[in-house]
Copies of this chain bind each other. A is one copy, B any other.
Amino acid sequence: MLSPDEILAVIEDGGFRSTASRRRLADVLTSHEEGFTAEELVAETPGVGRATVYRTIRLLVEQELLCKLSLPDGTPRYTLAQRGHHHHVVCQNCGSVREFRQSAMERMLKELESSDGDVVTGHRIEVFVVCAECLVRGVVPTNVHQH
């Protein structure tokens, strides 16, 4: 997992300043193993303004240190990124997140490129699950209709 210092290093390498608010946020971020909301971050960093929290989230998403995902109903969720291209498996019940990589699938998505006059610029994939922890707690999985 990413450490607060690694986050600060990326911020500084990007030409941005290492500030007290950003250090506070880096600490709180790295304490989350399992995905979180922006408002959780706001609540967990009292004294840091809401605008600063959202600005920092945006900065870190741009720097590819944070991933922004959304649950089946569209509510947004954030998680720390590992390295490289990946996607996420998200528990629709508790919001816990893990990464997955599937090179065969990536190859297939690239092939769409040649099929039309379009130029492919990216893709978004989210796999929804009810995670093992929620299952043992008795949550009944229901299929979600998504596109």
Q: Would B147 and A68 count as touching, CB distance under 8 A?
A: yes
A114 interfacial contact with B, CB 8 Å:
no
A13 at the interface (CB under 8 A from B): no
B147 touching A86, Cβ below 8 Å: yes
Which of A72, A92, A145, A147 counts the most B-chain CB atoms under 10 A from its CB? Answer: A147
Contacts of A1 in B (CB 8 A): none
Question: Does B145 lie within 8 Å of A122, measured CB to CB?
Answer: yes
A88 within 8 A of B: yes
Q: Contact check, A64 vs B145: say whether CB atoms are below 8 A apart.
A: yes
Copies of the chain in the assembly: 2
User: Among the listed B68, B124, B130, B131, which residue makes an inter-chain contact with A126, where contact means beta carbons less than 8 Å apart?
Assistant: B124
**Selected contact of A119 from candidates B87, B123, B135, CB within 8 Å:** B135
| A-to-B contact residues, CB < 8 Å | 64, 67-70, 72, 74, 76, 81, 86-89, 91-92, 100, 102, 104-105, 108-109, 112, 116-132, 135, 141-147
> 15 additional contacts, CB 8 Å, given A72-B124, A118-B135?
A67-B147, A69-B147, A87-B147, A88-B147, A112-B127, A117-B132, A118-B132, A119-B135, A119-B141, A121-B130, A121-B141, A121-B142, A124-B126, A124-B146, A126-B147
- Residue in contact with A121 in the complex, picked from B69, B102, B105, B143, CB distance below 8 Å: B143
Contact of A124 among B100, B124, B132 (CB under 8 A): B124
A108 to chain B, nearest CB (A): 5
